Amino acid sequence: MATGTAPSPRVVVVGGGFAGLACAKELGARGVDVTVIDRRNHNLFQPLLYQVATAALSPADIAEPLRKTLGRYEHVSVILAEVRGVDTTAKSVATDVGSVDYDHLVIATGSEYNYFGREDWRRVAPGLKSLEQARTLRQRLLLALEWAETTASSEERRALLTQVIIGGGPTGVEMAGAVAELGATVSRDFKNIRPEEFRVLLIEAGPRLLAAFPEGLSHYAKQQLEKLGVEVLLNTRVKDLTQDTVTFGDQILPVGSVTWGAGVKASSASEWLPVEPDRSGRIPVEATLQVKGQANVFALGDVALFLDEKGAPLPALAQVAKQQGQHLGKALGRHIKAGATLPPFTFRNRGNTAVIGRHAAVFDFGSWQLKGRLAWILWAIVHVYLLVSFEKRLLVSIQWLWRYVTLNRGARIIAEHARSGEDASPVTR
Amino acid sequence: MATGTAPSPRVVVVGGGFAGLACAKELGARGVDVTVIDRRNHNLFQPLLYQVATAALSPADIAEPLRKTLGRYEHVSVILAEVRGVDTTAKSVATDVGSVDYDHLVIATGSEYNYFGREDWRRVAPGLKSLEQARTLRQRLLLALEWAETTASSEERRALLTQVIIGGGPTGVEMAGAVAELGATVSRDFKNIRPEEFRVLLIEAGPRLLAAFPEGLSHYAKQQLEKLGVEVLLNTRVKDLTQDTVTFGDQILPVGSVTWGAGVKASSASEWLPVEPDRSGRIPVEATLQVKGQANVFALGDVALFLDEKGAPLPALAQVAKQQGQHLGKALGRHIKAGATLPPFTFRNRGNTAVIGRHAAVFDFGSWQLKGRLAWILWAIVHVYLLVSFEKRLLVSIQWLWRYVTLNRGARIIAEHARSGEDASPVTR
């Protein structure tokens, strides 16, 4: 790869999620020379990933190729590569396809699910961070239904029709609601399955769901999920997991699928830098988003530890990531083009939300809250707006909303190899 | 699985493609008790599969869950299973999830690509029969571009930018045109790739493309492909294949991807029956679509050898399959419900078509032909109509047409595991 120093300062952005992409766009719009490195070729609208897992959306509906988004900026290029490390003295990023020099480095590598040391659980209980995980969960859910339809064993059938979601945060709540609704629609298509046979369990180790929300909304979410038929188990710790069983308390429950949503940790990017991460692996940053002790390195979004004016870390939310990316892109653009100093970042809370099925949602705006059907309508409007601005595809969004409201699952495709166990002949270089 | 004899005669349909599905729908509409067995959970609109492979469509756009299509018929059930064999004496179909009794059996298992004894080629050069194959091809094409963008070796780059399609039938012609057009659009998104570096070769063993069409249309197709930049090699036999090389004549060509479209053979369903298949594995049927010598067994579509009034076998086309399915569904429904005798099937040629890029197509209506831009417009209208009736999703179809005409590839998503070589943790029962 060509690594000659560019005539104008070059910014390398590692990670094309909400933070990295927002930053690259702002820099690109200001004519700054930018290289975005990501191991995926697409930006993902993660907040709706649970809808891919429950067959309401297709992967391409919520994923946008980075090249497409960034293609319009003349000085922005994209490299599909895995970062191996950073040499902050030589100002160079090492990747599996060569090294890339930088003048300013932006780390926006996001977060991953935390399996608390049980890495073997990662395979049996996928989280909802990537399309691949969502696809795997979709396959397991759809296949569990298919097998339940034909099995002669009532025991196997009961197991296949039991879906477990671990973790009562927004992902767990949204997934539990969506799985329960999927279950409610099966009787039309599966002649041997009655909707009441379909069981959904949401298991949370703490004393309430949605711990980051005010307590009133937690109770409401539990109530609403129970209305949808979800069994909510609080103060319950999972002791062991396999692909077909979940062990908690003193029971080993045979299940059809397990979804993991029990807490995230920062990606391991802190290992590349001479910094001390916090317990969750986050990289401490100044108010300017500069990595502590590193003038030319910045960290954004889930991977950054940013303390607000009260000294509390900002949460791992899409809106934080996006605002930080936009802020840094503008600030760094002005700095590079006009020598401006870097202003501090301030987070503006746009409201934290979680949706519970197709009739209820909760919103926390800090000073006030909203819940119920009105919150759901607001949630739908906000997400259609976000999807449209994300993809510039109005038709997809309308169609999505229509299918979502009518419960018509458009993406219930089971890949053939999933069933036979034959792998999909992965491509290696 | 419950296998007790149903009170009314039960029809078992093996295969949910165009033929099997059309038959099941007609029977379902007449209140006949039907069980459809397929190893896929979806019916696939195969004529547009090459557009999934070239990132213009998503898998779910051209696949419809069988349960969704057939859910409306009270007496039709669907089983996701692999058929192991048929006992024509006991009138029972053995599957991997148990056996199913029948009164009438309909075999509609379709065809697969013929690798002429080189089964090792199946993995390195996927055909276009399943979503999985289309996805694999899409990954290879998109990754070849990604790697070409970053490689420092001009040799590797040349190889990665060379795509080979083997077989000059409609699938090969359509794929070659679509790949060439994908290549023409890369320069906006890939800063280091010039469109003229992208090479597409279409290799055909015979003396002309589209051998099933009149010669004038073959020449026209070649001309049009060459205008799109495709190098058409006729009378050229492939001697060897790996994932990265194609050997023909006396050269070993390093390539980025290989697509296989060189001839089909019937699926192996004839092995289940006491019949003598023809050289392509097809099951000989009477004019009534009854398998020769078997009163209660029928074969439809690509797997059936049906001779027309001139003694020529009907070709393996979607329209033949669909017409046969509809015919048999109606006939068998009347036979079961009212004791009517089975009338003979007659094929009505609706026109055989192949599309060459976004500006040209050919149509063969038997007594007259059409080619050029008008043919392309007709092709687009017919396919929007077919897609709409296939999916009942008008918006998807409009959006598809729009994206297709504007060359805006919406589905350029590379699965993450494809790159790392890690497999997608297949689900096994």
pLDDT digits (tens, 9 = 90+) for A192-246: 888 889 999 999 999 999 999 999 999 999 999 999 999 999 999 999 999 899 9
Confidence at A428, pLDDT banded by 50, 70, 90: very low
Q: Looking at residue A422, what is its pLDDT?
A: 34
For residue B63, list chain A residues with Cβ-Cβ distance below 8 A: 413
CA–CA dist A346, A324 (Å, integer): 8
Among B429, B419, B422, residue whose Cα is nearest residue A123:
B422
Q: Looking at residue B421, what is its pLDDT?
A: 35
The pLDDT of B401-413, averaged and rounded, is 60
Question: Which residues lie below 8 Å from residue A424, measured CB to CB, with a gap of 6+?
Answer: A415, A417, B132, B135, B136, B418, B423, B424, B426
Q: Which long-range contacts (CB under 8 A, 24 or more apart) does B357-364 make?
A: B357/B177, B357/B178, B357/B180, B357/B181, B357/B224, B357/B225, B357/B228, B358/B181, B358/B404, B358/B405, B358/B407, B359/B224, B360/B220, B360/B224, B362/B210, B362/B213, B362/B217, B362/B220, B362/B221, B364/B212, B364/B213, B364/B214, B364/B217
Where is pLDDT greater, at B392 or B389?
Answer: B389
Mean pLDDT score of chain B: 88
B39 and A419 within 8 Å at the Cβ level: the answer is yes
CA–CA dist A76, B5 (Å, integer): 67
B423 and A418 within 8 Å at the Cβ level: the answer is no
How far from A37 is each of A314, B188, B280, CA to CA, in Å? 25, 18, 49
Question: Which residues lie below 8 Å from residue A295, measured CB to CB, with a gap of 6+?
Answer: none
Of B2, B136, B191, the CB nearest to A425: B136
Query: Best-predicted range by mean pLDDT among A190-194, B404-408, B421-425?
Result: A190-194
Q: Which long-range contacts (CB under 8 A, 24 or more apart) does A81-85 make?
A: A81/A37, A81/A38, A81/A39, A81/B150, A82/A39, A82/B420, A83/A14, A83/A37, A83/A39, A83/A109, A83/A269, A83/A272, A85/A271, A85/A272
Q: Which residues of B59-93 are buried (b: 16+ CB within 10 A; e: fewer)?
A: bbbbbbbbbbbbbebebbbbbbbebeebebeebbb
Residues 154-193 of B with CB under 8 A from A: 188-192
- ipTM rounded to 2 decimals: 0.73
Task: Give yes or no for residue B126 having a pLDDT over 60.
Answer: yes
In chain A, the residue whose alpha carbon lies closest to the alpha carbon of B70 is: A189
> Which residue of B54, B189, B391, B398 to mutate against A (max A Cβ within 10 Å)?
B189
A152 and B1 within 8 Å at the Cβ level: the answer is yes
CA–CA dist A363, A380 (Å, integer): 12
CA–CA dist A362, B127 (Å, integer): 48
The pLDDT of B400-418, averaged and rounded, is 59
**Considering only the top CATH level, what class is B121-262+352-417?**
alpha beta
For residue A392, list chain B residues with Cβ-Cβ distance below 8 A: none
> Which residue of B10, B42, B138, B150 to mutate against A (max A Cβ within 10 Å)?
B150
- The H-or-E segment that residue B425 falls in is none
Longest dimension (CA), chain B: 73
Where is pLDDT greater, at A187 or A52?
Answer: A52
Among A229, A224, A150, A216, residue whose Cα is nearest residue A185:
A229
The pLDDT of B147-167, averaged and rounded, is 94
Task: Give yes or no for residue A18 having a pLDDT over 80.
Answer: yes
**Considering only the top CATH level, what class is A116-262?**
alpha beta
Q: Looking at residue B169, what is its pLDDT?
A: 94
Q: Looking at residue B210, what is its pLDDT?
A: 96
Q: Looking at residue B53, what is its pLDDT?
A: 92
For residue B139, list chain A residues with Cβ-Cβ distance below 8 A: 427
A10-113+264-338 and A116-262 agree in CATH topology = yes
For residue A40, list chain B residues with Cβ-Cβ distance below 8 A: 414, 416
Q: Where are the domains of chain A?
A: 10-113+264-338, 116-262
Q: Looking at residue B198, what is its pLDDT?
A: 94
For residue A409, list chain B residues with Cβ-Cβ distance below 8 A: 65, 68
Task: Give yes or no for residue A423 having a pLDDT over 50.
Answer: no
Question: Which residues lie below 8 Å from residue A331, measured CB to CB, with a gap of 6+?
Answer: A288, A340, A342, A343
The pLDDT of B93-110, averaged and rounded, is 96
The reply to whether B339 touches chain A by the CB within 8 Å rule is: no
CA–CA dist B347, B111 (Å, integer): 19
> Which residue of B37, B413, B420, B428 to mutate against A (max A Cβ within 10 Å)?
B413
CA–CA dist A353, A361 (Å, integer): 7
How far from B128 is each of A278, B169, B175, B404, CA to CA, in Å? 50, 12, 9, 19
On whether the CB atoms of residues B58 and A60 are closer than 8 A, the answer is yes
On whether the CB atoms of residues B53 and B30 are closer than 8 A, the answer is no
Q: Exactly one of B64, B174, B204, B391 is catalytic; which is it?
A: B174
- The H-or-E segment that residue B344 falls in is none
- Least reliable range by pLDDT among A3-17, A331-345, B409-423: B409-423
Task: Give yes or no for residue A89 having a pLDDT over 70.
Answer: yes
Q: Looking at residue B426, what is its pLDDT?
A: 35
Q: Both tokens of residue A415?
A: 């890949």
The reply to whether B140 touches chain A by the CB within 8 Å rule is: yes
Task: Give yes or no for residue A139 having a pLDDT over 80.
Answer: yes
The pLDDT of B327-351, averaged and rounded, is 95
The reply to whether B276 touches chain A by the CB within 8 Å rule is: no
The pLDDT of B88-116, averaged and rounded, is 95
For residue A241, list chain B residues with Cβ-Cβ distance below 8 A: none
Confidence at B188, pLDDT banded by 50, 70, 90: confident
- Least reliable range by pLDDT among A402-411, B27-36, B313-322: A402-411
Question: Which residues lie below 8 Å from residue A356, measured CB to CB, with a gap of 6+?
Answer: A173, A174, A177, A221, A224, A225, A228, A362
In Å, how far is B152's CA from the nearest CA of chain A? Answer: 5
The reply to whether A344 touches chain B by the CB within 8 Å rule is: no
Q: Looking at residue A224, what is its pLDDT?
A: 96
Rounded to the nearest 10 degrees, how much is the dihedral formed by the CA atoms of A190, A196, A200, A205? Answer: -170
A189 and B68 within 8 Å at the Cβ level: the answer is yes
Q: Looking at residue A397, what is its pLDDT?
A: 60
CA–CA dist B301, B97 (Å, integer): 25
* Distance, C-alpha A253 to centroid of its chain: 28
Q: Looking at residue B411, what is its pLDDT?
A: 62
Q: List phi, psi (to 5°) of B357.
A: 65, -160
CA–CA dist A187, B400 (Å, integer): 31
Where is pLDDT greater, at B401 or B52?
Answer: B52
CATH architecture of B10-113+264-338: 3-Layer(bba) Sandwich (3.50)
The reply to whether B423 touches chain A by the CB within 8 Å rule is: yes
Q: What is the pLDDT of residues B237-282, one digit of tens each?
A: 999 999 899 999 899 999 999 999 998 899 999 999 999 999 999 9
Confidence at B287, pLDDT banded by 50, 70, 90: very high
The Cβ of residue A239 has, within 10 Å, a number of other Cβ atoms equal to: 12
Where is pLDDT greater, at B104 or B51?
Answer: B104
B63 and A413 within 8 Å at the Cβ level: the answer is yes
- Look at the block and give the residue holding tokens 């015919």: B327
Confidence at B347, pLDDT banded by 50, 70, 90: very high
Q: What is the pLDDT of residues B189-208, one digit of tens each?
A: 888 888 889 999 999 999 99
Mean pLDDT score of chain A: 88
The reply to whether B428 touches chain A by the CB within 8 Å rule is: yes
Q: Which residues of A are part of the catalytic machinery?
A: 174
Q: Both tokens of residue A92?
A: 């160079």
Among A200, A215, A144, residue whose Cα is nearest residue A412:
A144
In chain A, the residue whose alpha carbon lies closest to the alpha carbon of B412 is: A65
Where is pLDDT greater, at A68 or B187?
Answer: A68
Chain A / chain B CB contacts < 8 angstroms: 196
The pLDDT of A4-13, averaged and rounded, is 75
Among B186, B156, B231, B316, residue whose Cα is nearest residue A71:
B186
- Count CA atoms within 13 Å of residue A261 on its CB side: 28
Q: Looking at residue B429, what is its pLDDT?
A: 42
In Å, how far is B138's CA from the nearest CA of chain A? Answer: 11
Task: Give yes or no for residue B217 having a pLDDT over 90.
Answer: yes
B147 and A412 within 8 Å at the Cβ level: the answer is no
What are the residues facing B113 on neighbouring strands? B264
The reply to whether A312 touches chain B by the CB within 8 Å rule is: no
Confidence at A184, pLDDT banded by 50, 70, 90: confident
Measure the CA angle with vertex A187, ends A186 and A189; round to 5°.
70
Of A1, A65, A396, the CB nearest to B399: A396
B426 and A427 within 8 Å at the Cβ level: the answer is no
The Cβ of residue B245 has, within 10 Å, a number of other Cβ atoms equal to: 16
B65 and A191 within 8 Å at the Cβ level: the answer is no
Residues 228-257 of A with CB under 8 A from B: none
The pLDDT of A320-336, averaged and rounded, is 97
A396 and B393 within 8 Å at the Cβ level: the answer is no
Q: Looking at residue A425, what is its pLDDT?
A: 35
Look at residue B129 and give its three-state secondary structure.
coil
In chain A, the residue whose alpha carbon lies closest to the alpha carbon of B403 is: A393
pTM as predicted:
0.82
Q: Looking at residue B3, what is its pLDDT?
A: 46
On whether the CB atoms of residues A16 and A36 are closer than 8 A, the answer is yes
How far from A318 is each of A21, A61, B129, CA to CA, in Å? 12, 18, 39
Q: Looking at residue B405, what is its pLDDT?
A: 60
Query: Best-predicted range by mean pLDDT among A134-138, B285-289, B389-393?
Result: B285-289
Sort B344 into a burial class: Cβ within 10 Å, 0-12 / 13-18 / 19+.
exposed
On whether the CB atoms of residues A356 and A372 are closer than 8 A, the answer is no
Where is pLDDT greater, at A322 or B191?
Answer: A322
CA–CA dist A163, A290 (Å, integer): 43
Q: Looking at residue A133, what is its pLDDT?
A: 93
For residue B393, list chain A residues with Cβ-Cβ distance below 8 A: 399, 410
The pLDDT of A391-404, averaged and rounded, is 58
Q: Looking at residue A6, what is its pLDDT?
A: 44
Task: Give yes or no for residue A3 having a pLDDT over 60.
Answer: no
Percent of chain B at pLDDT exceeding 90? 69
Q: What is the pLDDT of residues A358-380, one digit of tens each?
A: 889 999 998 899 999 999 888 88
Confidence at A57, pLDDT banded by 50, 70, 90: confident
- The H-or-E segment that residue B417 falls in is helix B416-420
Q: Both tokens of residue B208?
A: 């002309």
